């Protein structure tokens, strides 16, 4: 948990992404398509980082990853509560279907 650029509570999720396609990919576009975070039944929205975390979040939003290359990125979402669990959902990029498995994230 960190503060976003507005001073609100936000969840920072760091990840490593490997581009297995034949095209350059923008990590933020992959995130929007293949990752969803929910808290208390509501989908969480991305927010703006500040300070030390701004560089990694901004590079995820603006950078491109060449085919076969890996990238360390981050997703920052504003949370409604610092105590309610957040669940992360993943999509199969090949089939475009949501996977049955999820990743719960306990915040307190």
Confidence at 27, pLDDT banded by 50, 70, 90: confident
CATH code for the domain of 86 = 2.60.40
pTM over cut 0.85: no
Residue 68 pLDDT more than 90? Answer: yes
Residue 80: C-alpha distances to residues 40, 44, 74, 94 (Å) = 9, 8, 19, 32
Tell me the β-bridge partners of 37: 88
CA pseudo-torsion sign 44, 48, 53, 58: positive
The pLDDT, as a whole number, for residue 9 is 94
Number of domains comprising the chain: 1
Residue 26 pLDDT more than 80? Answer: yes
Confidence at 108, pLDDT banded by 50, 70, 90: low
The answer to whether residue 65 sits within a structural domain is yes
The answer to whether residue 17 sits within a structural domain is yes
The answer to whether residue 49 sits within a structural domain is yes
What are the pLDDT digits (tens) for 3-23?
999 999 999 998 888 888 899
Range of the domain at 80: 2-101
What are the pLDDT digits (tens) for 40-52?
999 999 999 998 8
Name the helix (H) or strand (E) containing 61.
helix 54-62
The answer to whether residue 107 sits within a structural domain is no
What percent of the chain clears pLDDT 70, i.e. is strictly above it?
Answer: 99
The answer to whether residue 60 sits within a structural domain is yes
The answer to whether residue 106 sits within a structural domain is no
The answer to whether residue 93 sits within a structural domain is yes
CA separation for the pair 15, 57 (Å, rounded): 11
């Amino acid at each position: 948990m960190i503060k976003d650029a507005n001073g609100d509570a936000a969840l920072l999720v760091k990840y490593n992404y490997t581009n297995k396609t034949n095209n350059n990919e923008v990590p933020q576009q992959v995130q929007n398509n293949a990752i969803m975070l929910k808290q208390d039944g509501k989908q969480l929205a991305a927010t703006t980082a500040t300070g030390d975390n701004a560089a990694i979040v901004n590079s995820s939003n603006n950078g491109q990853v060449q085919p076969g290359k890996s990238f360390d990125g981050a997703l920052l979402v504003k949370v409604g509560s610092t105590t309610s669990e957040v669940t992360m959902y993943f999509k199969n990029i090949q089939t475009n279907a949501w996977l049955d498995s999820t990743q719960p994230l306990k915040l307190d």
